[in-house]
Amino acid sequence: MPELPDVSVYVEALQQRLLGQPLLKLRLTSPFVLRTFDPPPSELHGKTVQSISRLGKRIVFEFDGELFLIVHLMIAGRFRWLAPGAKVPGKLGLAALDFPNGTLVLTEAGSKKRASMHIVRGAEAVHAHDPGGIEPLEATLDEFAAALTRERHTLKRTLTDPHVFSGIGNAYSDEILHRARLSPVQLTTNLDAGEIERLWRATRETLIDWTNRLRADAGGDFPEKVTAFRDGMAVHGRYNQPCPDCGSPVQRIVYADNETNYCARCQTGGKLLADRALSRLLHSDWPKSIDDL
């Protein structure tokens, strides 16, 4: 799922191309992508783009007359910037926004169509789509600590909860925790002041660093290679590959459609965290430490 760095770079690229441009037409090729019926899509036609912003992991287009288009890319949704009037790609295409200078196409890979668009009227309606998490790059240390410790959960769950922190998901939470040298299953209420500050700094540094990297990779072009797995990541998506800091094989905890990646030597004092599937299968043969492994 595109997270804060990816969505921020998308927003910058869209601002460069679309601010002040009139929407000629919104073409829907999937009947399910638009989750609202009033205002209708036709009401956006001819309206000028006034602003484009990030709302958590959502992208908000503001048009004349306090009309807003909210796009949530979910896991596999992506944008493509094509020539004016371009054809929407067959199986992947969900919608196209036609402008005088180009066509913005929304695509989604996979069979589960989760990406969504909402057309709403007024700032209050936009606010209803905000889960309420604080912006991690704007939060002071005290604000960060208050949000982090408000409830007793694991660090991984709390960092990825949009009601707590805005824009952080599975990929960058792994990178943040590795940089902070903290276990993904450490409880938020068991951190001392030094660990909280370390996590706050790691969160800021990781998100700023990756936003700058992605911006540089795009090089002024429209970002095309938006993925959760990036060359240069320390642990995310690097199971069994060497940790760049200590050389130990990166470990994982698999659950549902996601997995948490971590370095046992850097983050858990060498302890291997129980993976539900493997540890249940191996029972007493499950290694307890990275050295046993």
Return the domain boundaries, the chain.
4-127, 141-285
Please give the Cα distance from 159 to 138 (Å, whole number): 15
| Tally of CB atoms within 10 A around 29 | 17
Q: Please, which pLDDT band fits residue 280 given cuts at 50, 70 and 90?
A: very low
pTM of the predicted structure, to 2 decimals:
0.92
Please give the Cα distance from 160 to 204 (Å, whole number): 15
Q: What is the CATH number of domain 4-127?
A: 3.20.190.10
Establish how many alpha carbons lie within 13 A of residue 266's alpha carbon, considering only the half-sphere containing its beta carbon.
Answer: 24
pLDDT of residue 275: 63
Reply yes or no on whether the pLDDT at 156 is more than 90: yes
| Tally of CB atoms within 10 A around 286 | 15
User: Given the structure tokens 């048009």, which residue do they identify?
Assistant: 63
Of 81-85, 89-93, 209-213, 280-284, where does mean pLDDT reach its minimum? 280-284
Q: Which CATH architecture has domain 141-285?
A: Orthogonal Bundle (1.10)
Residue-wise pLDDT for 236-277, tens only, equals 999 999 999 999 999 999 886 788 999 999 999 999 997 654
- For the segment 138-162, the average pLDDT, to the nearest whole number, is 97
Give the helix/strand (H/E) hosting 14.
helix 4-18
pLDDT of residue 293: 47
